Amino acid sequence: MELHWENGFEIRVALERDTAVISANREGLLSLAGILTTLANGLPGDHVHLDRFNALNDDSAALIIEKIDRNMDW
């Protein structure tokens, strides 16, 4: 899966109690929108790992975004 990152993107994921907070600049939000679009057009099980080593700010929590089957039972 090929992902596109906007130049100058900044993305941070913070865990505050039981809430994940994603903060991003314009370029980061556009990059995330592209990731979501790519996953939406993919297959169930396709996923992206984001962490401080490949995309997120150094003080970020890791984030995995995964496409599931629409009939998945929670």
Query: What mean pLDDT value characterizes the chain?
Result: 93
pLDDT tens, 5-39? 999 999 999 999 999 999 999 999 999 999 999 99
Query: What pLDDT does residue 25 have?
Result: 98
In whole angstroms, give the CA distance from residue 63 to residue 51.
6
pLDDT at 22: 97
Reported pTM: 0.87
On the question of pLDDT at 73 being above 80, the answer is no
- Which residue in this structure is represented by tokens 């907070």? 21
Residue numbers of the domain that contains 42? 11-66
pLDDT band at 74 (very low <50, low <70, confident <90, very high): low
Does 29 fall in a domain? yes
Structural domain tally of the chain? 1
CB 10 within 8 A of CB 55: no
The yes-or-no verdict on residue 70 having pLDDT over 90 is no
Domain membership of residue 73 (yes or no) is no
